[in-house]
Amino acid sequence: LWPEKGTNLSVPLALSSLRAAAERKQFKWSHVERDVHLLESAGVRVSIVQDGLLYLTDGADANDIRYAVMRECGARGSALTWNDAGLFFRYEGERSGIVFMGAGAVPMMRHHDEMRISPPMRETVINAVFIFFIAITSAGIFLLGRYLARLLSAQILAPLAAIRDASAAMQHGDFDHVLPPMGSDEVGATCRAFDAMRSDLRRARLREEQEEARRREFLIGVLHDIATPLTAVKGYASGLIDGIAATPEKQRAYAERIARAAATMEGLTTQLRAFLRTETGELPLTWEVVEARTWLTAFIDAHAADVRERGIELSMA
């Protein structure tokens, strides 16, 4: 069988064929002839016994074969021993009564040329294994790098890009750029802290805008309140200069109105100064409860004469 493959490759096949022949019910020499000759060509002496000696290798001694097999394989039963001392086997057929025995100096590893790997072939195999190992390692490193890159992009680069976009929006005055929900790791905690800071800045900016609007309204009101007595002062002064107030009583009345208007402007400037001091933190702002009727009565008394000249009568019901 497969003689082109070498003797050592054919010996196991011949042994298997003999074992199978021993298990058959009837023995035929034609079934094992080729296998027996193959074993003999490998250096194995073979004997076949069935109600007497049926076959013996030329020049061999049946007793020598039997003793060698008993020494290596035991006294009875089918057995096979193949070691450095040689090849020894016995196959017994229970149904046919056939016994195959063989002994020969056939080492387990034969160093014939056909069994030996040539140095170029060995080098080729080693190089192929090395290249395969390098390819597998490179593929593993590449896949690991892709995985780590995706992990880095998802857990670090994407949150940092969101923070960068929110920072750019805040630089342009947009504090409504809300960060998307992030993970529970350190990067996610940093994103949540940044978003909390953005919310605080947004509320602070809204408060500042509201305070600025109230400040403008207050200043506009103060300027309007100053313009009213200033106009009265200008009118009364012109009346005195032009001689409209001809009598001493009328001149005194004009002078008193000018004095009241000046006092009103002084009070307004005092209020404006106090407001500016509260804005800068120099004057603490305190709240107190006042009675509206008393405050309105004082206001009417202070401005009744001015508005009466315009045909308006102020009074408390």
What's the farthest any 2 CA atoms get from each other in the chain? Answer: 178
Half-sphere exposure of 142 toward its Cβ, with a 13 Å CA cutoff?
6
Per-chain mean pLDDT for the chain: 81
Could you tell me the CA-to-CA distances from 18 to 15, 221, 305 in Å, in that order? 5, 124, 144
Number of H helices, E strands in the chain: 8, 5
With pLDDT > 70 as the criterion, what percentage of the chain qualifies?
90
pLDDT at 156: 72
pLDDT the model gives residue 110: 46
Sheet with 53-56, strands from edge to edge, namely: 53-56, 44-49, 99-104, 86-92, 79-83
Greater confidence (20 vs 239) lies with 20
- Report pLDDT digits (tens) over 176-212: 777 777 667 777 788 888 888 888 888 888 888 888 8
Element (H, E) at 266: helix 248-280
21 token code pair:
């022949």
Q: Write the DSSP symbol of residue 96.
A: T
**What is the rounded distance in angstroms from the CA atom of residue 86 to the CA atom of residue 168?**
87
pLDDT at 146: 86
> Strands 44-49 and 86-92, how do they pair?
unpaired
* Model pLDDT, residue 76: 84
132-175 pLDDT, tens digit per residue, is 899 999 999 989 988 888 777 766 777 777 788 888 887 877 87
Half-sphere exposure of 316 (CA within 13 A, CB side): 11
Q: pLDDT tens digits, residue range 242-275? A: 888 778 888 888 888 888 888 888 888 887 888 7
Q: What is the pTM of this model?
A: 0.37
